[in-house]
Structure 1
């Protein structure tokens, strides 16, 4: 093979990846100007700030028992409430406000981390399968089909039911439950783009396969992946709460939405706030994330409609 002309390698390689990044910035700018985005972001920021700092500022241990303060109602009801426990206490005297915000902390951490695992596996595997094709593509798609055939709850029982559920194990289970969706979308885009002139120019100029995939092909899906991943964080938080409710999530005494609600269901008649308060925090968090996602979706539809 003849030597590559240095002048040729210095030429800019036209790529739609730069255009995709520009569209992503336009979508973000348009979404940021919408009222629902601002409301969702403000609500989400308040909840996240409370989860980050309130347990430490209050000095209340979310796992500390105080039988003398058991089943205290929230401030807005009854005559036995206490300013020290504005959202009441549970059956063994633990503060519901602190436990709810700590549950939000764990739920959000697991949701974001599991979506990151999903993105990493799905985007990389889908891009590799679409770029190389042939046996690599066939093998990757058969693995994807096998994964799609396993319901998330079955996978959770198989992985978490035989050992003590830990946060890394829960993140792995949730991350493995949804990556085929990203892999299939990424594969279809990369297969359509791998024969384009800018990819061939990058190959001729000496760019490695990894560089082409990471810098030219994967960024093509930045706008839709951004939207989908935001909404997936909310979905993973629901799954994490479901696992906790079934006893397959983070184990007590560490508070999470699922195990708090599971403990409180026995007291729904005389102490409804035990199960309700974490549910309210979960609902507010999901609402804020969905408002942000809806603003992005509307902005994306507007931008692509005008392209």
Structure 2
């Protein structure tokens, strides 16, 4: 019978995992970049949640009389009602940018969730069972990695209607191999631990071991890494929108707003610039938070091992 040390019991391993997660968060919060990124993100989230509702402005409503108003105090045509100006058919740029941020962030988070689910699930199965199962999954991973994400997204969305669920699914499916490889390598190490062997000897099924022992232990570190992928997914969503393969008008997203504004760069630069500013601020805030978490995780990972 396997001899289990105190530090290698399931409860002890989960306690260590929670301790490492709390240490990562605590150390990341002490970094200036984390604080700046979190403040920017919270301000953007508040503005996105509150202003479109309080203003009562419909982001898709046309107003020809307010056509091509500039931002406050810029040019001869501007209005307090439209602080960031209006577009070529009189739609408010501030509301459209904030609503676009909603959709972009929703798609980014949802895509990463799909990626995590597929990648971590397949990675755990490959790493835990090994053998032919591992070989098949790893060959699928290699095949998926050989296809660039943007090419796959264009190919799929170009022949189907680019709805939000379709965009989320395509972006999620195109990125899972990275997480599958990471999870596989970790699980291959963990399955040799005494607590896993003891659980098998105790009659636990493989599914139970994976769900009750490995998932709670291994998923938190991966979640910290996935924060940076939210920003990457938002960029790809904007690219697809710019190419006309994202969320379709009149629903505003960063990509289709910028695409509409590129024709007016000389005389109405704010149409394309304002959503670009909001996108840049959002990506900066997410990258600051994600990079701080990643550095904190790397700095204590060796000691936790």
Deviation at 1:58, TM superposition (A): 0.7
Give ranges in structure 2 of 5+ residues lacking alignment: 2-7
Given that 1:20 and 1:222 are in contact with CA atoms closer than 8 Å, whether structure 2 keeps it comes out as no
Please tell me the root mean square deviation across aligned C-alpha atoms, in Å: 1.8
Q: Mean alpha-carbon deviation: is it higher for 269-278 or for 187-196? A: 187-196
Match of 1:94 in 2: 91
Match of 2:70 in 1: 73
The total of aligned residue pairs comes to: 298
Aligned 1:102-117 pairs, distance under 5 A: 102-117=99-114
Match of 1:8 in 2: none
Question: Which of 262, 265, 268 matches 1:265?
Answer: 262
Question: Which of 145, 149, 153 matches 2:146?
Answer: 149
Match of 2:5 in 1: none
Question: Which of 229, 234, 241 matches 2:226?
Answer: 229
Return closer, same or farther for 1:13/1:39 CA change in 2, 3 Å cut-off.
closer
Q: Secondary structure at the match of 1:247?
A: coil
Given that 2:101 and 2:279 are in contact with CA atoms closer than 8 Å, whether structure 1 keeps it comes out as yes
Given that 1:24 and 1:222 are in contact with CA atoms closer than 8 Å, whether structure 2 keeps it comes out as no
CA distance in 1, matches of 2:102, 2:46: 10
Match of 1:196 in 2: 193
Given that 1:72 and 1:80 are in contact with CA atoms closer than 8 Å, whether structure 2 keeps it comes out as yes
Deviation at 1:13, TM superposition (A): 3.9
Aligned 1:210-229 pairs, distance under 5 A: 210-229=207-226
Q: Mean alpha-carbon deviation: is it higher for 140-149 or for 116-125? A: 140-149
Aligned 1:39-188 pairs, distance under 5 A: 39-188=36-185
Residues 114-166 of structure 1 deviation map (CA, whole Å, 9 limit, x = unaligned)? 00000000001100111111121111112111211221122112221112100
Residues 213-254 of structure 1 deviation map (CA, whole Å, 9 limit, x = unaligned)? 123223444454123210000000000000000110000000
Q: Secondary structure at the match of 1:65?
A: coil
Q: Mean alpha-carbon deviation: is it higher for 247-256 or for 41-50? A: 41-50
CA distance in 2, matches of 1:191, 1:12: 18
CA distance in 2, matches of 1:117, 1:187: 17
CA distance in 2, matches of 1:15, 1:141: 31
Give ranges in structure 1 of 5+ residues lacking alignment: 5-10
CA distance in 1, matches of 2:193, 2:302: 24
Q: Mean alpha-carbon deviation: is it higher for 31-40 or for 106-115? A: 31-40
TM-score, L = length of structure 2? 0.93
Stretches (4+) displaced over 6 A: none
Matched, 1:27 2:24: yes
Q: Mean alpha-carbon deviation: is it higher for 288-297 or for 117-126? A: 288-297
Deviation at 1:306, TM superposition (A): 4.7
Q: Secondary structure at the match of 1:250?
A: coil
